[in-house]
Every structure is written in C-alpha cells, then in structure tokens.
Amino acid sequence: MKKLALLATALAMISGSAMAADMTVKAVKAPPPPPFEPWDFAFGSAIMNDYIFRGITQSNHNPSVAAYFEPRYNVTKDLQFYIGVAGESISFPNRAAAEIDVYGGIRPTFGAFVLDIGVWGYLYPGGTCFFGAPADAAGNPLSPECAANFLPNGNVAKRDASFFEVYGKFTYNVNENWAFTLNEYYSPNFLNLGSWGNYTSIIGKWTAPSTIFGTSGVGMYISGEFGRQWFGTSDSFYGTSFAAPGFAGPFPNGIKEPDYNTWNIGIGFTYKVFTLDLRYSDTNLSKADCNAFTSDYTSSFNNSFSNINPTGVGSNWCGAAGIAKLSADLTALSNLK
C-alpha cells in the first residue's frame, strides 16, 4: 500500500508540473501591434542670441526668436509628405518686419538612408526700398519710394527680398551614433538680388550613447557643417557706376555676388523636448565683400575695399560668431498622446 501511495504521489507531481508548464506557455501572448496613424504634426519654438543663416547674421548679431508648425502625412512608415510654416525675427537692411517661411516636401526612407526633397519660400513682408536716387546704376528709373529713402553708409536695399529655393537632403545613418547629411539648395533669384544662388554642404553628427548620462534622460551630440555658397551676377539695382583706382568696376548692370565658404561646429544637450545648442560659426568673406553682399545698414567706413566694393565700407555680419540656441520640439504622436 505504501508503494502504491508513493507511486500515486509521484504521478500527481509529474502531472502537476506538466500542467504548470503548459499553463505558462499559454499565458504568454504578444500584444497586438499599435494601429498605424498616418497623420502627425510637429511644432516648436526657439530663442537664440544670434540668428545665423549660412554663416551670416540675419538679426544684426542681436537675439532672435523663432517658431514653426509642420503637418505631416505618413503614407507608410517609410514615406512621409509634409508642409510647414515658420517665422523668425530679423534685422534686415530694408527693415522687413520678419522672416516668414512656407515650405513643403517629401521624406522617403530606405533602410539607413533618408531623403528630403522640397521647396522652401522665404518671405520678408513690411520692407522699405532704400536707394536715395531716382535711377539705378544702369539708369533705370526707380520708384519715388526708392528715391526718397537712403542709408547713411550708401548701401541700397530693395523693398522685397523674398525668394524661394528647391532643395534636396541625403542622410546616411551609419549606426545609432553616427550620421552624415549632404545638402543641396538652389534659387533662381537669391534674396531677390537678381542672381541665382547655389548652396552645397555636408554635415556630420555624433550622438552620444544613452548610457553616458545614465537614467537622467539627458542626451548629447556634437555636429559640424562645411558649406559653399555660389552666386551669379545681380541686377542693375545693386550695380555701381563708381570708379576708383585699383577697382575692377564700374559695374552699372550688376555685380558678381561673392562666392564664399562657411562652416560651423557645436555641441548640443537634449532633455525631453528641449535642446540647448552651443555653436561657433564663420565664413571666409572679407568685410568689403560682406558689405557688398548684405547691404548692411550698420556698416561704416573702415578701409575695406574689394573688386565689388569700392566705397571702403566694411561689414562684420559675415565674421566669426558664437550662437546659443534653446529650442523645444514636439510631435503630436510622440508628445501629446
């Protein structure tokens, strides 16, 4: 009887273990995948001590604020269409009220490769024409507004500096830490100068592993960019009939806008939706060429001469600058659910 009892107990234990194992396997069930949501939108704002665009200040080296709103439609997880509007505070020679950007494009993804192709419009409402003469350098009549207004340093500015660019960006994500981007922008009439403009740059970015800051939620990256801006010849509004010893002019029908290199390098820190970016930016433009290109209303005579700038007036808008930018960026699907 004792042997039978022991045998029954052993069988019960074996049966119970099998049932427990079977129950464990049946209890593990993968959750259903989240539903695909095609619509999303991104938005954000920023404040910076200087608004630098391709190495040149747009805010006269003063603080600037910015904001944007970008609706997005995801056809698939690897194909996105988007449109957007953005605004920045500026300080232009024509005293435009602000910069308003309107843009749209497509972002397809192919594994580690991301493309971004679109059109970007830069609008500068509220500007005033400054010329101080009834005709331009080629003798073309100007509006009474242009004739009535002049800048003390002799520079000139059109009432409207608006323009658009077509662009393409190609990003290769090497791994979780490294990414490289090649940018290409083209405008048939850059800043309404009458000259075409072409900008090409390459960006490298290293994102620190998340383990560096532990569980604090703080992230860090280091990035740098090198770019080249090319131009054609401006229209006669920006031409000059001035002649001086050693000066290649006069150029009454327009000046060859100066091509230049620009570069920047910086470090950024992220926490949740916030980013603090600290950056150094510079160009190889001389003060004389910078003045001729930007029509800087703050520039003054400092013996800065070049082939396209015979006046001796030089600008510091294109020189070395340090930029501190604090921004917040959110998306509806990631931050508002």
pLDDT in tens, 231-281: 999 999 999 988 777 788 899 999 999 999 999 999 999 999 999 999 999
- Per-residue model confidence as pLDDT tens digits over 78-100: 999 999 999 999 999 999 999 99
For the stretch 5-38, what's the b/e string if a residue is b when 16 or more beta carbons lie within 10 angstroms of its beta carbon? eeeeeeeeeeeeeeeeeeeeeeeeeeeeeeeeee
For residue 137, the 8-state DSSP code is: T
CB 228 within 8 Å of CB 199: yes
Structure-block tokens of residue 126: 């509220």
In a domain, 289, yes or no: yes
In a domain, 30, yes or no: no
In a domain, 206, yes or no: yes
In a domain, 27, yes or no: no
Look over the chain and give the mean of its residue pLDDT values, rounded to a whole number: 92
In a domain, 18, yes or no: no
Torsion of CA 61, 263, 187, 97, to 10 degrees: -10
pLDDT value at residue 79: 98
In a domain, 23, yes or no: no
Rounded Cα distance, 54 and 114, in Å: 22
Rounded Cα distance, 304 and 107, in Å: 44
In a domain, 314, yes or no: yes
In a domain, 72, yes or no: yes
Domain span including residue 207 = 36-335
pLDDT value at residue 14: 45
Q: Single out the residue of 114, 225, 224, 219 nearest to residue 173, CA to CA.
A: 114
- Write the CATH number for 166: 2.40.160.160
- Per-residue model confidence as pLDDT tens digits over 293-311: 999 999 999 999 999 999 8
Rounded Cα distance, 90 and 122, in Å: 12
Number of domains in the chain: 1
**Mean pLDDT confidence for 183-204:** 98
Question: 3-state class of 128 per DSSP?
Answer: coil
- Helix runs in 37-194, H state only: 144-148
Q: What percent of the chain has pLDDT over 70?
A: 91
